[in-house]
Amino acid sequence: MASPKPEVPAGGEKITIENGKLNVPDRPIIPFIEGDGTGPDIWRASVRVLDAAVQKAYGGRKTIRWTEVYAGEKSYQLFSTWLPDETVAAFREYLVGIKGPLTTPVGGGIRSLNVALRQMLDLYVCLRPVRWFHGVPSPVKRPEAVDMVIFRENTEDVYAGIEFEEGSADVKKVVAFLKDNFPKMYDKIRFPETAAIGIKPISREGSDRLIRSAIQYAIANKRKSVTIVHKGNIMKFTEGAFRNHGYALAEAEFGDATYTWGQWEKTKAAGGEEAANAEQKAALASGKVLVKDAIADITLQQVLTRPNEFDVIATMNLNGDYLSDALAAQVGGIGIAPGGNINYVTGHAVFEATHGTAPKYAGLDQVNPGSVILSGEMMLRYLGWTEAADLVIKGMDGAIGAKTVTYDFARLMEGARQVKCSEFGDAVIKAM
């Protein structure tokens, strides 16, 4: 393999976007990254499921023309680079893609390739729906009550990677700058000689576009509420501002379709709590979406104890990362948690599972491919190939309903037939 430039598959055509609407040809070229660790096992099973769904839905009239692009360990082995420019260029050119997980070392080494791709392509929404499939073993009593859609901001926050290492010349400059210019802030650094420093950018534009997408989704999908999750009591100017931007945006851009707790507060201040409650009740009865907020720590408790009160969630990068793994556990685990990284303005989207490379299972054909299968289902729906997407769901429902499952579910289920990763793919196809 001499070049990381992707092959152009015969007969394939590019997906384009015009006036905010995707034009999807019948033979779209879709780049994919296999991923590290368990990525190749999962991809092999998933691509068969996606192709089978498309074949069954359209009888050959539509097919995906996959083209492999490289990143992570495979790319490093082949081309001595972790993320070739050609890979980023392919996702730019073909608009929609899908990827397996990529390894990020802890405490040193390369920064996350996953995060880098999201930033380079400006995929500002990390969309992670969390729902329960009938029969999936879950640690909670009523997993069916969990039906939430996380909108995680994907380009800012501590994930921007603005960090200065302890003892480095750079951190000394940053600390000296704080000492000279912001002495009160400098005094708050408990051990300035040995502190590493991280910077967390949260912008108005970044917050607005994420929250706008969440509200638009809630309105389009007739959801009841959007909860803005933040730690704004402690980080007032970053996470607190995110909440404030959210209320201001909802009121300015979606006044006809939303009612906010910000409005409730204003009415309460002017006319008392009863008046505010009556106003909220009337707004919700008329079908408006409630835009509210919750602090991140209590959110992690309440999504467990009162899942019915959460619907669409809009949050920043780190909170969203924690929340998406925690919520995945409630509906049966990370093995079937899908996601998509999307820029709703340019149309660029890269779909990927919520989980990582699960390295201890690499090459064993053992893990659950459901996460990438369902990420593919999200991709099909994004393309407007609803019939194929519905078949993927039918197949997943059928396989799980028949208790034909991978080890992660089998260990928690009575009477399950444990199958390999590839065999689970077969079971999904059979059940379509």
Ligand X SMILES: O=C(O)CCC(=O)C(=O)O
Ligand Y SMILES: NC(=O)C1=CN([C@@H]2O[C@H](COP(=O)(O)OP(=O)(O)OC[C@H]3O[C@@H](n4cnc5c(N)ncnc54)[C@H](OP(=O)(O)O)[C@@H]3O)[C@@H](O)[C@H]2O)C=CC1
Q: Which of residues 353-392 bind ligand Y (CB under 6 A)?
A: 355-359, 367-368, 371
User: Do the Cβ atoms of 101 and 356 come closer than 8 Å?
Assistant: yes
Strands (E) located in 36-124: 65-68, 96-99
Torsion 59-62-64-65 (CA) sign:
positive
Is residue 97 near ligand Y by the rule CB under 6 A?
A: no
Residue for token digits 């197949």? Answer: 395
Element (H, E) at 176: helix 169-181
Minimum CB separation of residue 355 from Mg ion in Å reads 8
**What is the distance between the alpha carbons of residues 91 and 69, in angstroms, rounded to a whole number?**
9
Select from 16, 23, 81, 112 the one that contacts ligand X (CB under 6 A).
112
Q: Is 357 annotated as a binding residue?
A: yes
Shortest-Cβ-distance residue relative to Mg ion = 321
What is the token pair recorded at 128? 């992670």
**SS3 call for 335:** helix
Q: Decide whether 4 or 320 has the Cβ nearer to ligand X.
A: 320
Cite the active site residues.
Answer: 159, 231, 297, 321
Q: Is 128 annotated as a binding residue?
A: yes
Q: Which does 115 bind (CB under 5 to 8 A by kind): ligand Y, ligand X, Mg ion, none?
A: ligand X
Helix 386-401 to helix 421-430 angle (10° resolution) is 110
Q: What is the torsion angle, in degrees rounded to the nearest 10, for the CA atoms of residue 142, residue 143, residue 145 and residue 150?
A: 150
Is residue 296 near ligand X by the rule CB under 6 A?
A: no
Q: Decide whether 114 or 343 has the Cβ nearer to ligand Y.
A: 114
Strand duo 21-23 + 65-68: pairing = unpaired
Is residue 342 near ligand Y by the rule CB under 6 A?
A: no
Q: Decide whether 258 or 357 has the Cβ nearer to ligand Y.
A: 357
Q: Which stretch binds ligand Y (CB under 6 A): 163-171, 235-243, 246-254, 352-360?
A: 352-360
Query: What is 319-372 written as a DSSP string?
Result: HHHHHHHHHHHHTT-GGG---EEE-TTT--EEEE-SS---GGGTTSS-S--HHH
Minimum CB separation of residue 113 from ligand Y in Å reads 8
Is residue 23 near ligand X by the rule CB under 6 A?
A: no
Q: Is 348 annotated as a binding residue?
A: no
Q: Which does 365 bind (CB under 5 to 8 A by kind): ligand X, Mg ion, ligand Y, none?
A: none
Is residue 104 near ligand X by the rule CB under 6 A?
A: yes
**SS3 call for 147:** strand
Q: Which stretch binds ligand Y (CB under 6 A): 160-168, 238-246, 341-349, 350-358?
A: 350-358
Q: Is 214 annotated as a binding residue?
A: no
Shortest-Cβ-distance residue relative to ligand Y = 356
Q: Is 67 annotated as a binding residue?
A: no
Strand duo 65-68 + 29-33: pairing = parallel
Q: Of the candidates 373, 328, 391, which has an alpha carbon nearest to the alpha carbon of residue 132?
A: 328
Q: Decide whether 67 or 317 has the Cβ nearer to Mg ion.
A: 317
How many CB atoms are located within 10 Å of the residue 112 CB?
Answer: 15
Q: Which does 148 bind (CB under 5 to 8 A by kind): Mg ion, ligand X, ligand Y, none?
A: none
Select from 41, 321, 365, 408 the one that contacts Mg ion (CB under 5 A).
321
Q: Is 5 annotated as a binding residue?
A: no
Is residue 422 near ligand Y by the rule CB under 6 A?
A: no
Q: Decide whether 117 or 148 has the Cβ nearer to ligand Y.
A: 117
**SS3 call for 291:** strand
Q: Which does 167 bind (CB under 5 to 8 A by kind): Mg ion, ligand X, ligand Y, none?
A: none
Select from 157, 239, 311, 321 the one that contacts ligand X (CB under 6 A).
321
**What is the distance between the alpha carbons of residues 177 and 92, in angstroms, rounded to a whole number?**
39
For 298-313, what is the HEC assignment?
HHHHHHHHCHHHCCEE
User: Do the Cβ atoms of 217 and 317 come closer than 8 Å?
Assistant: no
User: Do the Cβ atoms of 43 and 372 come closer than 8 Å?
Assistant: yes
Q: Which stretch binds Mg ion (CB under 5 A): 3-11, 129-137, 239-247, 315-323?
A: 315-323
Q: Of the candidates 71, 66, 7, 64, which has an alpha carbon nearest to the alpha carbon of residue 39?
A: 71
Residues that bind ligand Y (CB under 6 A): 101-104, 114, 334-335, 352, 355-359, 367-368, 371, 408
Residues that bind ligand X (CB under 6 A): 104, 112, 114-115, 321, 354, 356
